[in-house]
Structure 1
Amino acid sequence: MSIGLLGLSPSLQAQEKPLLIEKINPQLYLYTTFNTFGGTKYAANAVYLITKKGIILFDTPWDSTQYQPLLDSIKQKHNLPVIAVYATHWHEDRAGGFAYYNRIGIPTYATKMTNDLLKANHKAQATHLVSTNKTYSVGGQSFVLNFFGAGHSMDNVVVWFPEYKILDGGCFIKSSEAQDLGFTADGDIKSWKPSLARLLAKYPKINMVIPGHDAWKDKGQIKRTEALLTEKQ
C-alpha cells in the first residue's frame, strides 16, 4: 500500500526509536510508530486503554516490525496482556497488523464496512464485527466507536472515551501541522466536513483530540481539519 493512501504530512517529531509510548492518563496511553517514504520518516499515532481485564489496542502499529515489540513493551510496562485490537479504518496504518494478531490468537475487531474493504483489498480481516454509536464497557472502562460519515476513508470511525472526554480521531482528524488533506481517493471530501460537524454536535466539549498522524499535544487539530476542508469547498 502506498503512503499516499494515508494522507500524511512529514512529521517534525520523527524519532530514531521505532516505537514511542507516552502516558495520557493512568488508563490511556498513546503509542507512535513510523514508516519511511521517499527518505522522509512519518509518524502514526494510536492509543491503548488499560482495563481490569487487560489492554485494548485501538489500531495496529504502522511499522510491521513493531507488532510484537508493542505487545512486549505493554507487558513489561503494565504486566497485562493485550486482549483486543480494534481498527478505525482499513488502511495499513490502522489494520495492517490484523494478520499477525489473528495468527497469535488476539481477537481483532472492525466494523462490517471496514471488514468488507479489507476483503476487497485482499487484506486480513477482523475476527469480530462491532457496532458503531454504542458504548462498550470492558474491565471498568468504557469507549464508543462512532461513525459520523465518510471522510479520509469511507469507513473511518473515531473512538470516544466518555470518562475522560478524549477523542481518538484516527485519520479522520488531521494534525495541527498538516499542510493538506493528503490522498483522498479512498474517501469523500464533500462528505468529510458535514461528517465532522456531526461529530462536534455530538461532542461539543472535548478535552483532547488525537490525530492519526504527527503532532498531537496541542489543541488545534479540529480547527486545522476544518480549515483544510474549507479550502477544498
Structure 2
Amino acid sequence: MYWIGIIFLFSTFLYAQSAPLIIEQIHSKVFVHSTFNTFNGKQYAANGMYLVTKKGIVLFDTPWDKTQYQPILDSIQKKHLLPVIAVFASHSHEDRAGGFEYYNKMGIPTYATKETNSILKANGKAIATNVIELGKNYKIGGERFIIEYFGKGHTSDNTVVWLPKYQILNGGCLVKSTDATDLGYIGEADVNAWPKTIQKLMNQYPKIKLVIAGHDNWKMQGHLEHTLKLLNQN
C-alpha cells in the first residue's frame, strides 16, 4: 500500500496554505479532510477522515469551518461520483459535530454516542439522528470500521475510529499532533484520566500503521507517544 511511505514526504507547509478545505488521499479508500479555524487568535487545522465504500462515502467528523459543510459534499461527489451517506462525530465540539444541523436538514444520517447527543442537547445544539454502537463492527459497502471509547481525555465523550483492514486510527482530539506544544483547549478535559485512556488505546491497537491526529500536522508518526509526553508535562 503506497500510503505507508507518502506520509513522510510532507511537512507543515500544508497548514500555512490558505485553502479552506484540503482533502488528501492516504489509501485508495481512505482520505483525510482538513478545515481551518482560529483558537486564541491563532489558526489551526482540524482533521477528519472519510471512507469510500461501494454504497457511498462515510464521513468522520464535520468541517470546523461552517462555510465548508456543503463544499466538502461537493468535492466528494466530484472526486468519487458518490454521495455522503453517513456522518459520524467523535465528540460534541464544533470541529466534530458542528455540521449536524446542516446535514440533518439535508437528510444525511448523522451518528453520535448517547453521551455526545446528551451534551449537544444540553448546549442547545443539533443532535445526531442515530446513536453510535460502541465497539460494533460496522459494515458498509464492503468496508468495515469500529467506533471505540477508551475513557475520558480531551472531553468526557471523545471516541476514535479504527479501520481494521487498513490499521488506520482516526484519533480525533483525543490525540495531539507531534507538532503540538501544549494540550490546547482543556476546559472540558480530564487530564488525570487522559494518560490512562491513551494507554488503553495503545494496548488495544499495538500495530497501528497510521494515526490521524485531531489538529494540525497528522503526517508524522509518534502522535500517541507525544500526547503522553505532553500530559506528563502538564
Give a deviation string over 1:119-171, Cα, whole Å, max 9, x none: 11111000000111121111100000000000000000000000010000000
Deviation of the 1:40 alpha carbon = 2.9
Partner of 1:190: 192
Give 1:1-233 correspondences, 5 Å limit. Answer: 13-37=15-39, 39-232=41-234
Helix, strand or coil: the match of 1:189? Answer: coil
Whole-angstrom distance in 1 between the partners of 2:13 and 2:89 = 22
Whole-angstrom distance in 2 between the partners of 1:168 and 1:38 = 25
Whether the 8 Å contact between 1:11 and 1:215 is mirrored in structure 2 is no
Helix, strand or coil: the match of 1:143? Answer: strand
- Runs of 4+ residues deviating >6 angstroms: none
Amino acid at match of 2:127: Q
Whether the 8 Å contact between 1:48 and 1:55 is mirrored in structure 2 is yes
Larger relative contact order (CA 8 Å, sep ≥ 6): 1
Deviation of the 1:53 alpha carbon = 0.5
TM-score of the aligned structures, taking structure 1 as reference length: 0.93
Identical-residue share of aligned pairs (%) = 56
Deviation of the 1:183 alpha carbon = 2.1
Deviation of the 1:12 alpha carbon = 7.4
Q: Provide closer, same or farther for how the CA distance between residues 11 and 37 of structure 1 changes in structure 2, counting only shifts above 3 A.
A: farther
Amino acid at match of 1:64: K
Helix, strand or coil: the match of 1:169? Answer: strand
Whole-angstrom distance in 1 between the partners of 2:95 and 2:226 = 21
Deviation of the 1:220 alpha carbon = 1.9
Whether the 8 Å contact between 1:14 and 1:42 is mirrored in structure 2 is no
Helix, strand or coil: the match of 1:230? Answer: helix
Deviation of the 1:13 alpha carbon = 1.9
Q: Which runs of 5+ in 2 are unaligned?
A: 1-11
Whether the 8 Å contact between 1:14 and 1:34 is mirrored in structure 2 is no
Amino acid at match of 1:230: N
Deviation of the 1:14 alpha carbon = 3.1
Give a deviation string over 1:174-193, Cα, whole Å, max 9, x none: 00010111221212111111
Kindly tell me the number of residue pairs found equivalent between the two proteins: 223
Whole-angstrom distance in 1 between the partners of 2:149 and 2:88 = 14
When the two chains are superposed, the root-mean-square deviation of aligned CA atoms in Å is 1.4
Give a deviation string over 1:54-112, Cα, whole Å, max 9, x none: 00000000000000000000000000000000000000000000000001110000000
Amino acid at match of 1:41: Q
Helix, strand or coil: the match of 1:106? Answer: coil
Deviation of the 1:38 alpha carbon = 5.3
Segment drifting more, 12-21 vs 22-31: 12-21
Amino acid at match of 1:206: I
Amino acid at match of 2:216: D
